[in-house]
Amino acid sequence: MAYVIHGACIDVLDRSCVEVCPVDCIYEGSRKAYIHPDECVDCGACEPVCPVTAIKYRDDIPEGQADFVDDNARFFLEPLPGRDEPLGHPGGSADLGPTGVDTALVSRRPASSGGG
């Protein structure tokens, strides 16, 4: 996994990153977007379009945001609330559409205008 979306995306969910992703690997939760670690081709197209600079290369995640590295993968590897199975490898966010749910890390964050 090269790119990760950290907490600054919470309650912003601009979708600019989804629109520019050439491989359709950015999935939409209820309050935040998540990059599929196995589908991402490390092109970096998503990083400059994020209005809150929430997308960073894994090694460049800001201090205090490291939990989002594992959480980004957890979105796909563990069952989300209300689901029996993990998302796994859905094969593209356009076909799946918004999931309407987030990981526990994101869900327990208080509502804000950029949960960073």
pLDDT of residue 2: 79
pLDDT digits (tens, 9 = 90+) for 12-56: 989 999 999 999 999 999 999 999 999 999 999 999 999 999 999
Contact 96, 27 (CB under 8 A): yes
Give CA separation, 69 vs 5, 82, 95, in Å.
8, 23, 24
pLDDT of residue 1: 53
pLDDT digits (tens, 9 = 90+) for 62-105: 999 999 999 999 999 999 999 999 999 998 999 999 999 999 99
Alpha-helical regions (H) of 2-80 = 16-20, 67-77
Which residues are 28's β-sheet partners?
33
If 0-12 CB within 10 Å is exposed, 13-18 middle and 19+ buried, where does residue 6 land?
A: buried
- Complete domains list, the chain, with CATH: 3-96 (3.30.70.20)
Which residues are 5's β-sheet partners?
55
**Stated pTM of the model:** 0.92
